[in-house]
């Protein structure tokens, strides 16, 4: 299983495989054709409340990760997690995010969950 994380602003690469945008909002200033996004499951993104809480600096990344994993355990989100896990079982999957620090973002939490 191959799951990696990249910034959506980076140019697509052949080894990306299926490119999955995991942000709720479309990245600013990026043309849809340039992004080459294959899937955009908005149900995999953190809730607006959780995003606001984390970006306001009210909690640690570890607490954010725990809360996000709890959101991903909800039935609708769990179905989407299973779908992306199936894609990863068939070949490479790249999780795309506009986050400036992908290694400390929801994409990293999702990647860990997919690989477990």
Question: Residue length, the chain?
Answer: 116
* Residues in Cβ contact with 17 at an 8 Å cutoff, skipping those fewer than 6 apart: 2, 87, 91, 92, 93, 94
pLDDT of 47 higher than 90: yes
Supply 67's token pair.
């809360």
How large is the average pLDDT for residues 107-116?
94
Instruction: Report angle CA 34, 11, 32 to the nearest 5 degrees.
Output: 20
Q: How far apart are CA 37 and CA 77, in angstroms?
A: 19
Residue 1: its pLDDT value, please?
Answer: 72
pLDDT tens-digit readout, 55-109: 888 889 999 999 999 999 999 999 999 999 999 999 999 999 999 999 989 999 9
* Angstrom distance (rounded) from CA 60 to CA 43: 23
pTM over 0.85: yes
């Amino acid at each position: 299983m191959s799951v990696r994380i990249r910034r959506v602003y980076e140019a697509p690469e052949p080894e990306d495989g299926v490119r999955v945008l995991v942000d709720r909002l479309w990245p600013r200033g990026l043309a849809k054709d340039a992004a080459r996004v294959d899937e955009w499951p908005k149900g995999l993104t953190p809730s607006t409340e959780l995003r606001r809480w984390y970006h306001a600096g009210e909690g640690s990344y570890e607490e954010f990760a725990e809360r996000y994993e709890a959101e991903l355990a909800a039935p609708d989100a769990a179905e989407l997690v299973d779908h992306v896990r199936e894609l990863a079982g068939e070949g490479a999957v790249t999780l795309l995010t506009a986050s400036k620090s992908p290694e400390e973002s929801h994409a990293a939490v999702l990647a860990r969950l997919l690989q477990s």
